[in-house]
Structure 1
């Protein structure tokens, strides 16, 4: 072989998955700027379902986690969501990877080993359906410990915020009228887009107050609706949603500090703060309950025991449990309501059936012996109407 041929021969393609890396310790922030086909590099213990869903929705093809995605403390749902969606999950790579991988770098992953070109940056454990299932079985053994800790946190949360829960002290006033109305609370959680689509008949018929929790406001816009109330940190909401005319409620800590409030003000929109340690989903439910809502329908919020425990903060679990006790029988899960509406025959279909039956009946009558008499009566009726003389 000639030397010129060797010089011009293309370099052999290196094995593995190659894509642009996006790096951020805050996976929720990373999900908002990641693009389809990129690799997410995060550092999050016990990856929860909401974070995994956000990364899946962003279209990432791989997730590199510096931490353990399943520690065994409780059966968290994030890893199984990623793996079942076909997203490569490389786990427990180590904290140094957050510095070794630069944002925007082309990263290559081969058998759990991370490379920049040929330079080895680190390695981790490739999780698949079997390994995640095995880890989940082990994690379920830790549920009793988690439930005991949850009981203590619930008592502490109730002691600290009972006036807010029971009497509404600190719950801000909003200009959206909810008394005696249905309220639909939408969060960008599991299966929220499909649930919204299934509720379209309900939304059209009952015209509920539309409340977006964080990115749930953008989910409403994407589905063709305009939120009337937005609850959450404005950092997770688009300018389009914040500027759509909705009232905005910004969570604040118990000292009154509300991160992100300035963003709403910079857009020229009005906002009020809600000082509480409850999570934003529960704040939205409490606003509806204390606003006198007749029925509160939820989309994308935790519904099952597994989803309820799949939280990163113990306080979130406590506030969720106590909020649902407070809201009581007015709270309905959107998937259940969608099932009920699916079993109904739409009003339009009923009218079409009635008109078809009338048409068939008239056709049968007009071809009978009495047809001439019926036609004559209809002609006289029409003449009387036109003459304004009645009949």
Structure 2
């Protein structure tokens, strides 16, 4: 295996995916590559991934590497940060059997991960899942005790100009199968006209489908400037001590924002705000709801999500996987029936024509002659 191409590098894969071009090599520092990151690289049509760290650490069975190798994108794994630092943006490099060359000089090497290697590592990761689950449960319970105030009235919900009262709210998160699920929800969006809330990159997902987000909620680290400028309202997720790093970016764009200080994830506060402002129904799309989801986000527990869903559950519909649940298929028999139905009036009208009647009679005579032969 030999690949020669220009490289792009970034410690954050989601940022790299926005600027890497077709046929280039992605140089990343991403332990346990997650599904969303992998899909973004596949969509960019890259040639190869060079990872400074372990793409599969073995803590849990992360799906990202499987997605990459299934799309014929090999991974040169765990090359080390020294190699990452030596490589520069837009360097033209050659990679052969895990060895990385620049101008003929060997820069470093790593393990080549193909389908076989990835499958073996994933199998081993499954063997460790019970240990990781035990830790995850303990962490969730511990932090749920500390953060229970967020659903018991201790959390101050900021004033917002968006009117949620009595309306449906669609909260879009850039999570598992979010594009397919959003595609499946188009009829709902068109008919019900829900308030559209994009959580960070979820706002860009809405834009891709031609919808302007009414509200953007997040720490503003993965949402585009275009999305921010298109939103009617921006809510910056701040730490519990009030620090809001994302606010600076919003202000630099000349935009205003509401600051929401809260523990947990941005999708949690997006749903909690909709609930507290009396939304009739909250539809969550692409949200994170299981251990693998949270481990892929670098979180060791899901206390805030557990608490928020405990509170808003009566008004929450999780649309994750809706594209799998309902996949429209127009069966052949229905197509045939439609064709017959469409042709029927044409045949009736045609049969009234003298010329057509003569043609039919000639065909009948021809058929009789053929049958006698």
Equivalent residue number for residue 202 of structure 2: 216
Of 113, 118, 142 in structure 2, the residue corresponding to residue 127 of structure 1 is: 113
What is the rounded CA distance, in whole Å, between the counterparts of 1:119 and 1:113 in structure 2? 10
Residue 48 of structure 2: aligned partner: 62
Question: Which residue of 1 is the match for residue 248 of structure 2?
Answer: 262
Please state how far the C-alpha of 1:242 moved relative to its aligned partner: 1.0
Which residue of 1 is the match for residue 263 of structure 2? Answer: 277
Per-residue deviation, 1:341 = 7.0
SS of the equivalent of 2:18 reads helix
Q: Which residue of 2 aligns with 1:318?
A: 303
1:201-238 CA-partner distances (Å, limit 9, x unpaired): 11111111111111111111111001001011224222
Q: Does 1:248 align with 2:263?
A: no
Structure 2 match to 1:118: 104
> Is 1:331 equivalent to 2:308 in the alignment?
no
| 1:57-115 Cα distance to aligned partner (Å, 9 max, x none) | 33332211111111111111221122222222111112211112111111221111111
Q: Which runs of 5+ in 2 are unaligned?
A: 331-337, 349-373
CA RMSD of aligned residues (A): 2.9
CA distance in 2, matches of 1:160, 1:326: 16
Instruction: Measure, in 1, the Cα distance between the counterparts of 2:315 and 2:239.
Output: 28
Range with greater deviation from structure 2 (197-206 or 223-232) = 197-206
- How many matched pairs? 338
Q: Deviations over 1:165-192 (max 9, x none)?
A: 3336133232212222221111223332
Q: Distance in 1 between matches of 2:30 and 2:310?
A: 30
Q: Secondary structure at the match of 1:184?
A: strand
Gaps of 5+ in 1: 1-14, 346-352, 364-391
Go from structure 1 to structure 2 and tell me whether the alpha carbon gap of 1:76 and 1:336 turns closer, same or farther (over 3 Å shift).
closer
For residue 308 of structure 1, report the CA deviation from its aligned partner.
4.9
More displaced stretch, 286-295 vs 208-217? 286-295
Alignment of 1:337-356 (within 5 A): 337-338=322-323
User: TM-score, length-normalised on structure 1?
Assistant: 0.78
Structure 2 residue aligned with 1:206: 192
Contact 1:53 1:190 survives alignment (8 Å) = no
Aligned counterparts of 2:29 and 2:251: Cα–Cα separation in 1: 32
Q: Is the 8 A contact 1:231 1:284 kept in 2?
A: yes
TM-score by length of 2: 0.81
